[in-house]
Structure 1
Amino acid sequence: MSSAGACVRPKLWYVIEDIWVDPAVTALRPDFAVLVMGVYGLRNGPTDDRSRAWLAGAADSAVSAEDPKVEAWREAYRAFGAKPQRTRPSVDALVRRMPLPEINLVVDAYNAISVRHGLPIGGEDLAHYEGTARLIRATGEEPFEVVEKGEPGIDHPEIGEVVWRDDRGATCRRWNWRQCVRTRITEETVDALFLLERLAPMSLEELRAAGDELVESLKIVTPGIRVESRLIAHG
């Protein structure tokens, strides 16, 4: 068939059923679970009065840095050799940073939910994702794209560090500490992958409730989005 007649599969065909967590990670924390959500057809934009209200409400109802759900993440970091006082879990960093920063509609939505529930939430732009997301213990060779002092560069995780990655390299270091610049959510993001990560004592019911809240917020941003979700839990 000529290229003119070929059928090109659209980018939104991202298969969340293929996402996986390495057993070496669950060996560290058998209580780990992640709710993965593919959201397609977003019309993102800059922070507005709606998302400012979400951020303000979250500041009033956020968990504290001493909440057991936040401490569980510090314990998880110590389990793979990280020092959570130096590189904090994302939710720990957010609850210490009030008021929450204004980023864009989608990021504002999930940051607000993150601090209210005390769970890390990551967002990935699928237009810049390559292959399947997986959570692994790093070899140390995975490229991690950064910007330092305004200049693009490449960093690498430490051997044994817990990282999210795709076929191109690490997309988030130290479980949920820092996202690479390549896959971050911007105002141009249309199709996105969200990763809602849970450790005990958070219940799976609360994890699902946080996912439902995120969907409702994203539907306010963009009515008519298509959503797929899947819970990955040990055992």
Structure 2
Amino acid sequence: MKKFVTEDSFWELFPDAAIGVVVARGMKTADEVSDEDKAEIERLLVRANMMAERHLTSDTISENAPVKAWREAYRRFKTKKGARCSIENLLKRVLKGKPVGTITPAVDIYNTISLTYALPVGGEDIDTFQGDLRLTVTEGGDAFLPLGSDESEDPTLPGELCYLDDAGAVCRCWNWRDGVRTALRDDSRNAFLIIECVEPERIEQCVEAIDELAELVERYLGATIEAKQLLCGPVREVVIEP
């Protein structure tokens, strides 16, 4: 049995945070998604890029509320120089008039949710996990090969908050950058999808985002949703593979 566990070291930093988890199994591969559904997913992404503009009240990226919240969050743990929350990177593209484009159906769906709600959303291939997945403050030195890089491994830093399994880092600096080893691919069948919220007043929106994410993955990728859980308060783990 594999679990996703949010460890005490995370909650000590972020006692009021909420983590939304969707476990989707039996997804269609990219080749199996019909052209009609791919086109509809792309339309949803285009619409989400436009909806993201409502979260941008300033031409200075750091002055927008979702970005402010996450910049403050990133000050609470060790990060690589220049690391920023994933939602800041998406909103920055919208602000610059360079909308987030299509990648692969599963990624397009979670980017749609991220842009719509201005919350960080990510996804990993469950079948690549070694042991439990943990969100924790690391002692450093965990193996990591960044997605999109052919460079040598870039290990975690002491005091860094990241997602880890028994083989090393899965996503560094909480939600900054995924690794090659666990990233969703065109042929991935089973996905671990996650939404993070550090603003207590937005937890209801996080719940809405979880529900919509699960619905879209079920509708367009034909997945079975085996878990849909909000982790906060006393709820700190969820089974991701029986």
TM-score by length of 2: 0.83
Q: Counterparts of 1:146-161 in structure 2 under 5 Å?
A: 146=146, 151=150, 153-161=152-160
Residues 106 and 221 in structure 1, CA contact (< 8 A), matched pair in contact too: no
User: 1:230 is matched by which residue type in structure 2?
Assistant: Q
SS at match of 1:75: helix
- How many residue pairs are counted as aligned between the two chains? 218
Distance in 2 (alpha carbons) for counterparts of 1:60 and 1:88: 22
Gaps of 5+ in 1: 1-13
Cα drift, residue 147 of structure 1: 5.8
Give CA deviations for 1:67-120 in whole Å, capped at 9, x if unaligned. 423321111111114378x21100010111231021101100111110111111
1:202 Cα deviation (Å)? 4.4
Structure 1 ranges of 4+ moved more than 3 A: 81-84
Q: Which of 19, 23, 29 is the matching residue for 1:38?
A: 23
**Structure 2 CA distance for partners of 1:147 and 1:39, relative to 1, 3 Å:** closer
Q: TM-score, normalised by structure 1?
A: 0.85
Residue 19 of structure 2 aligns to a residue in which SS? strand
- Work out whether residues 38 and 227 of structure 1, in 8 Å CA contact, stay in contact via their aligned partners in 2: yes
Question: CA-to-partner distance for each residue in 1:20-48, whole Å, 9 max, x for gaps?
Answer: 21222222221111111211010031793
SS class of match (1:146): coil
Whether the aligned pair in 1 keeps the contact of 2:4 and 2:134 (CA below 8 Å) is: yes
Map of 1:217-232 to 2, 5 A cutoff? 217-223=216-222, 225-232=224-231
- For 1:190, the equivalent position in structure 2 comes to 189
Looking at structure 1, the residues matched to 200 and 184 of structure 2 have their Cα atoms a distance apart, in angstroms, of 29
1:70 aligned partner, one-letter code: V
1:82 correspondence with 2:47:
no
| Cα displacement (A) at 1:152 | 5.2
What do you get for the CA RMSD once the two structures are aligned?
Answer: 2.1
State the 1:131 CA deviation. 1.2
Structure 1 partner of 2:112: 112
Q: Does 1:91 align with 2:87?
A: yes
1:68 aligned to 65, 70, 77, which one? 65
Task: Give unpaired runs (5+ residues) of structure 2.
Answer: 235-242
More helix by share: 2
Structure 2 Cα separation of the partners of residues 142 and 158 of structure 1: 8
Cα distance, 1:35–1:224 mapped onto 2, change above 3 Å: closer
Does residue 54 of structure 1 match 2:44?
yes
Amino acid at match of 1:170: A
| Structure 1 partner of 2:133 | 133
Q: Deviations over 1:129-172 (max 9, x none)?
A: 111111111111211123676x3531111110100011110000
